[in-house]
Amino acid sequence: HAKDLILPQNWDHETYTAHQNPSLILVFISNLQKEIEKQTGYRSSRKRRSTAQYNYEVYHSLEEIQSWMFEMNRTHPKLVDVFSVGKSYEGRPLHVLQLGKRSHPQKKAVWIDCGVHAREWIGPAFCQWFVKEAINSYQYDSAMRRLLNHLNFYIMPVFNVDGYHFSWTKDRFWRKTRSKNHKFHCRGVDANRNWKVKWCEEGASSHPCDDTYCGPFPESEPEVKAVAKFLRKRKKRVKAYISIHAYAQMLLYPYSYKYATIPNFNCVESAAHNAVTALYSAYGERYRYGPASTTLYVSSGSSIDWAYRNGIQYAFAFELRDTGHFGFLLPESLINPTCTETMKAVKAIASSLLNKCETDREGFPYI
């Protein structure tokens, strides 16, 4: 009986899939198709011309998100700039928002990306929520004003634009990019196994048909290469890297590829503790936190390990709600609470950058 089956506490969907017994079937959602249609239906009513009417409590298609980015730039030119860091495999622009008060050009910066894995729709929803909240609260929230005055936020609402578009039009549960493989009919690479750090070792697959396929070589995916190039150029100013994923309710930091303690563990652990405490204060949601390898699973070629190796001392990956009931099909009714609590956590991490934490800087890069 499904109700009698208990998965180990630290397993998420990916872990379960990797260890699954084909004879076991767990039924969490009785009508899966209906849940999918709820999130992709009624598109015409959601197309808005002004950001004042933009609905942040529904999931948006790639086209809507890109239009929203330009509209935010048009309506808030003093705080928002939009630019492209390159093009995807299928030729789509890779848009990034710069959020922050225009002041001196050498401001410290925080990078936030969402939608690395196509099916994790709550990610892009959060990136949009973050921008909206930051702008709306700038005038009355002294903490947010301090952040935007002293930091630049580079926000990429949809990292894997091709995969995200495909998850809206063809396969709701698609994860990878959409690059073609010449030897196999399978398409795509796991964009979080394609970074140039311990590439294609434990926790990544060398087979193109697998969900965790590392790609033919590091940075083979134009999306990964473009972001890596952008961050490398600015690594002296980018002090934090944050990647938003789902699901498992965790806050992870390096290392992903090995069981070892990072040299600036105390500072990073403290920031993580403050973040999950702030998150918990909203609705009482509990997040586990710790090194990715021990808290979730070992993986190589991950973006947080790459960011850390390149001198970005605070590198985090969030796994947002939930813990497996809805999984990737998190209902739109949960966008608001999920984004509200995550906002508190990200603000806590950004605030920790403005407060000095003593750490040994001699050894960078550490990996």
What's the whole-model pTM score?
0.90
Decide: 126 and 244 in contact? Cβ < 8 Å: yes
Which one, of 64, 319, 364, lies nearest residue 192 by Cα?
319
Residues paired with 252 in a beta bridge:
290, 317
Residues paired with 155 in a beta bridge:
97, 112
pLDDT digits (tens, 9 = 90+) for 100-114: 998 877 899 999 999
DSSP-based three-state secondary structure for 158 = coil
Q: pLDDT value at position 2?
A: 31
pLDDT(235) > 80? yes
**Strand order in 93-99's β-sheet?**
80-87, 93-99, 151-156, 108-114, 238-246, 314-320, 250-253, 288-291
Distance, in Å, from the CA atom of 19 to the CA atom of 267, rounded to the nearest integer, reads 34
Residue 96, H or E segment: strand 93-99
Strands (E), 115-189: 151-156
List phi, psi (to 5°) of 211.
Answer: -65, -25
Q: pLDDT value at position 3?
A: 30
pLDDT(367) > 60? no
Q: Please indicate whether residue 35 is annotated as part of the active site.
A: no
Q: Write down the catalytic residue from 319, 332, 341, 362.
A: 319
CA-CA distances (angstroms) from residue 7 to 24, 109, 157, 325? 12, 39, 32, 12
- Domains and their CATH numbers in the chain: 62-354 (3.40.630.10)
Q: Work out the percent of the chain whose per-residue pLDDT is above 70.
A: 87
Distance, in Å, from the CA atom of 113 to the CA atom of 231, rounded to the nearest integer, reads 12
List phi, psi (to 5°) of 333.
Answer: -65, -15
Q: What is the mean pLDDT of residues 68-79?
A: 97
Tokens of 134: 């930051």
Q: pLDDT value at position 32?
A: 80
pLDDT(48) > 90? no
